[in-house]
Amino acid sequence: MSDLGKRGNLGCVDGIIKTAHADGEGGLIIHSETDMTEFVDHTKRQFNERSEKTGWGDQPLDPRNKIAELPPLVIEDLNKLGIMRGYYIADPKAMAKWLNNPDNRVFRTRGGNV
């Protein structure tokens, strides 16, 4: 009998559920999944609390300057794309394009274009 399909739950850390299963060729596939419901609700609330008229802060870390919030799995994907390196934005132009993409609007906490 093949081990393909046998699954094991590796646990949940920071809202990321990891499971593993055999690939049928002696390897192991680890799958990461995140329930984004609470995260999406959180970013929507932040977006709705802001407007273009709230202005910008004078300091780089001023909360008024926040334009998006990204969960760890998205940051991992952006690292694979070369847009980020760890939590550092390696390619600001590509990051702006990614944030302005309507498919990624759910991560925005402020309107407008980056």
**pLDDT tens per residue across span 4-61:** 455 677 877 767 788 888 888 888 888 888 778 888 899 999 998 886 667 778 887 8
Compute the C-alpha angle 103/34/72, nearest 5°. 75
Is the pTM higher than 0.85? The answer reads no
Token match 């759910």: residue? 106
pLDDT tens, position by position, 39-50: 889 999 999 888
Determine the pLDDT at residue 99.
96
Token match 């081990």: residue? 3
Helix or strand or coil: residue 23? coil
Strands (E), 54-98: 84-85, 88-89
More confident residue, 98 or 55: 98
Determine the pLDDT at residue 3.
47
Determine the pLDDT at residue 53.
67
**Cβ contact 21:32 at 8 Å:** no
